[in-house]
Amino acid sequence: MRKIVLSLLAVLFVLTASAQKYPGLADTPPMGWNSWNIYACDITEQLVREVADAMVDRGLKEAGYEYVVIDDCWHGERDSLGFITDDQENFPSGIKALADYVHSLGLKFGIYSDAGWTTCGGRPGSRGYEYQDALKYAEWGVDYLKYDWCATDNVNAKGAYDTMLRALAKAGRPILFSMCEWGDNKPWLWAKDIGHMWRTTGDIYDDFYGEDDHGTWSSWGILNILDMQDGLREYAGPGHWNDPDMMEVGNHGLSVNESRAHFAMWCMIASPLIAGTDIQNASEETIEILTNEEAIAINQDLLGIQGFKHSKTDSLEVWYKPLAEGDWAVCFLNRDSISKEINYDWKATVVKDDFAKRNANFANTTYEIRDVWKHKNLGKTKRALKTTVPGHDVLMLHLSNIEK
């Protein structure tokens, strides 16, 4: 009897002991590509291979994008033992062969599932099959799991995501865990030790500002999503990031100016940079935005602190992001459709960031000003900044502390 009791206690300990997410997978915001925004369910293994090739050929891999993620609708049925299979019509070689191909290019491979009975696209979800699915993902060579929130009934969100975390840990392969819970249960309050990143809002769509009402839920424009990040910066940092959703940069609903502003602000708020456009056929302007190494460096800064809105005058906002080694990123965001003049007196500006415990007093400290998009120096903060920001665009600056 004593042995039975001890055995039961051992099992109970295994079931209740806290699992840990894999460390080191998201020390800076993850970068990659996801199929949903541009292709939705119209995906095939050939398409994903071609996108992976394009990520290499068009410079995204070199710029730091590493994950190739297939979203919903890759699933087939479950086999007689309950293991998930792939859709053989669209993925005839199988998911493992696709993952192997992505890996052969020096990239990483991501996949999608759902905490509910079905995915948002009506394919088999992972509820009740979490451990089997995690084992299958590890067998296939998956490096990234996006885990959605459809068809979950009244299941507890923290419990559901913790269950999949435990399953991934048990499977034994380092897999980045991207939680797509839409912010319904305020994951920023509890997900730090469960996921590497968590969605803070509903879905994005390719409009600079607007709402796409689907009846029971809505998709949101770029600025709407940005506004919803207010108050969340204290919850993000190395290994655990707020995720305002995949980027719409280059998609047909946005102008070049709007795509640039979108990308700049996602860099300023230390968002994961997950591209969601047609990489193969994207314009050179789109590729230049996505691969701007100076903007990406601001996003990937090792300090890992999310930027914040410092001030606003009419439709012109000024955002600051503390960077390593005493530097700052500054972004002037023009929310209006018409150009705005700037006459910014640095010496009259004091930046106080209590969260980062960082201050900038430009009257006492001089910084070198670098225009991130034009790739040129604009002088020093000893003089006022006088320029123009086009409508629905940004002026993004890197301030280097020359007195450090």
Q: Which residues contact 346 (CB under 8 A, 6 or more apart)?
A: 362, 367, 381, 382, 383, 384, 385
Task: Name which of 72, 62, 394 is nearest 249 in CA terms.
Answer: 394
Active site residue 203: yes
What span, in angstroms and rounded, lies between the C-alpha atoms of 140 and 71? 16
Active site residue 148: yes
Residue 109 contacts residue 184 (beta carbons within 8 Å) = no
Amino acid residing at 404: K
Task: Name which of 72, 53, 64, 24 is nearest 272 in CA terms.
Answer: 64
What span, in angstroms and rounded, lies between the C-alpha atoms of 302 and 331? 19
Tokens of 338: 């018409």
Residue 210 contacts residue 224 (beta carbons within 8 Å) = yes
Give one DSSP letter per residue of 365-388, joined into a string. Answer: --EEEEETTTTEEEEETTS-EEEE
Strands 218-220 and 376-380 turn out to be unpaired
Set 72, 87, 143, 148: catalytic member: 148
Q: Classify the C-alpha dihedral 118-124-128-129 as positive or negative.
A: negative
For Cα atoms 256, 242, 331, give the angle at the middle one, nearest 5 degrees.
40
Set 86, 143, 203, 243: catalytic member: 203
Instruction: Give the catalytic positions in this structure.
Output: 148, 203
